[in-house]
Amino acid sequence: MKFNIFNQDALARVGELQFSRGVIQTPVFMPVGTYGTVKTMTPDELLALGAEIVLGNTYHLMVRPGEDVISHHKGLHNFMGWQKPILTDSGGFQIWSLSKKAKINDDYVEFDSPVNGDMIRLTPEKAMQIQDTLGSDIQMVLDECTHYPASKKEAESSMLRSIKWAHRSFDAFHALNQDNDAALFGIIQGGMFQDLRKKNLQQLMDLNFDGLAIGGLSVGESEEERVDVLESLTPEMPKQLPRYLMGVGTPIDIVKSVSAGIDMFDCVIPTRHARNGHIYTSEGLIRIKNAKYQKDTNPLDENCSCYTCQNFSRSYIRHLKNCNEILGSRLATIHNLFFYFDLMRQIQESIRKNEFKKFADAFIQGYQQ
């Protein structure tokens, strides 16, 4: 992997990530394909919308269909029919979400399979081995996502475990990856405590990671807490490495985080919201199932050139959603993903022109969450 920064406007950066499978323009939004699919979308449709990378999940793919099945296909790219880059999360977020049912210590985490109840043991080495089998282009260390709220003692304990796992993940990754351009990202933890975050960053910088991610956000904290973490942390992060903010992804969140120096984003919001009838537009979020759209012949967004907006009305999308027709979710997903990819294109262009602050201020002022 190679990372180039072409221009910086204040803290906002525009650049590209280079892989043998393709080039990714940054800042980038990565749609989530947890089980090897971005829900309701085919790979060709994702490409047409502008996707350059998708995200998969090590934990879920390990549980179902299992690494043996994916290995039989010679990797996740072939299995899901997507030949552009893939990033896989290591399973750390699932440790957090399943923490009440999991047994966690410094050596491993154990939990019951949600499919058949079998005991699953995940170690840093196992997480890297599975990602190697998947053939991910960007792989993540196994970490423990600090719960919220957490005391400083709890956050520090979780952070110390994560750094131990980072070292083990790093060693396992390099033992497995000798002849490809796969990248390994470290993950910064430390809860809402700025001193712990900076300490963890320094610990991770002792290892030669290809990129750094900020984890443990979007877990229930306030926007003010999240912004404080980002604004204190990103100026300390190495400028030459890509910066990935995990799981944070409303349009306003993305714009504000780019202004803090973040390069990469993922979130289920645009696809999940689409399936629930929540539509992103240039003027804010609309709930298409509302009665006021029953006879609305306008497109979802008059400023949008996506397939959905060029061919269908709000009234028709509302009808499909209220009848639980699959096409309704597909058309809404096409639109929401197009909106996100177009937002990233506008962000990139504004940074190239040194006009990002002007763009960000206008977007935030005119957009209703």
Query: pLDDT digits over 177-221, tens only?
Result: 877 899 999 999 999 999 999 999 999 999 999 999 999 999 999
Q: 261 and 287 share a domain?
A: no
- pLDDT band with cut points at 50, 70 and 90 for residue 93: confident
Mean pLDDT (whole number) for 299-312: 98
Domain end residue (candidates: 267, 283, 306): 267
pLDDT above 70 (res 349): yes
Peptide bond into 31 cis (omega under 30): no
Amino acid at 105: N
Rg (CA), the chain: 20
> Are the CB atoms for 7 and 13 separated by under 8 Å?
yes
55: domain range? 2-267
Q: Among 132, 126, 124, which residue's Cα sits nearest to residue 183? A: 132
The answer to the question of residue 368 being in a domain is no
Is there a domain that residue 203 lies in?
Answer: yes
Q: Residue 293: what pLDDT?
A: 98
Could you tell me if residue 347 is inside a domain? yes
Number of domains in the chain: 2
Same-domain check for residues 324 and 198: no
Tell me, yes or no, whether 175 and 254 share the same domain: yes
Mean per-residue pLDDT over the chain, rounded: 95
Residue 176 lies in a domain: yes
Q: Cα–Cα–Cα angle for 260, 262, 264, nearest 5°?
A: 160
Task: State the pLDDT at residue 114.
Answer: 81
Based on the fold, state whether residues 202 and 307 are members of the same structural domain. no
Contacts of 79 (CB under 8 A, 6+ apart): 36, 69, 70, 73
Per-residue confidence band for 94, with pLDDT thresholds at 50, 70 and 90: confident
Residues 150 and 252 in one domain: yes
pLDDT of residue 37: 98
pLDDT of residue 177: 80
Question: Has 89 been annotated as catalytic?
Answer: yes
Q: Indicate if 8 and 105 belong to the same structural domain.
A: yes
Bridge-based pairing of strands 109-112 and 103-104 is antiparallel
8 A C-beta contact, residue 189 and residue 218: no
Contact 212, 201 (CB under 8 A): yes
Q: Pinpoint the alpha helices (H) of 182-241.
A: 194-205, 223-233
Is residue 367 assigned to a domain?
Answer: no
CA atoms lying within 13 Å on the CB side of residue 356: 26
The reply to whether 278 and 241 lie within a common domain is no
Residue that terminates a domain, selected from 267, 289, 308:
267
Q: What whole-number distance in Å separates Cα of residue 132 and Cα of residue 285?
A: 39
Query: What are the pLDDT digits (tens) for 21-79?
Result: 999 999 999 999 999 999 999 999 999 999 999 999 999 999 999 999 999 999 999 99
Reduced to 3 states (helix: H, G, I; strand: E, B; else coil), residue 6 is strand
Q: For residues 243 and 165, state if they share a domain.
A: yes
Q: Residue 364: inside a domain, yes or no?
A: no
Say if 329 falls within a structural domain: yes
The edge-to-edge listing of strands for the beta sheet with 109-112 is: 103-104, 109-112, 119-122
CATH number at residue 185: 3.20.20.105
Q: What is the pLDDT of residues 323-348, one digit of tens each?
A: 999 999 999 999 999 999 999 999 99
**Does one domain contain both 162 and 282?**
no
β 243-245/264-267 pair status: parallel
* Tokens 């490809």, residue located: 180
Show which of 228, 247, 267 is a domain's final residue.
267
Same domain (yes/no): 255, 326: no
Mean pLDDT over 85-101 rounds to 81
pLDDT interval class at 92 (50, 70, 90): confident
pLDDT value of residue 99: 63
49 and 66 both lie in a single domain:
yes
Q: Annotate 99-122 with b (16+ C-beta within 10 A) or e (fewer).
A: eeebebeeebbebeeeeeeeebeb
Catalytic residue among 9, 137, 253, 266: 266
pLDDT at 138 over 70: yes
**Is pLDDT at 176 greater than 70 in this prediction?**
yes
Is 369 part of a structural domain of the chain? Answer: no
Q: What is the per-residue pLDDT for 97?
A: 72
258, 284: one domain: no
Given the residues 89, 137, 253, 263, the one annotated as active site: 89
Indicate the Cα dihedral angle 360, 363, 364, 367, nearest 10°. -170
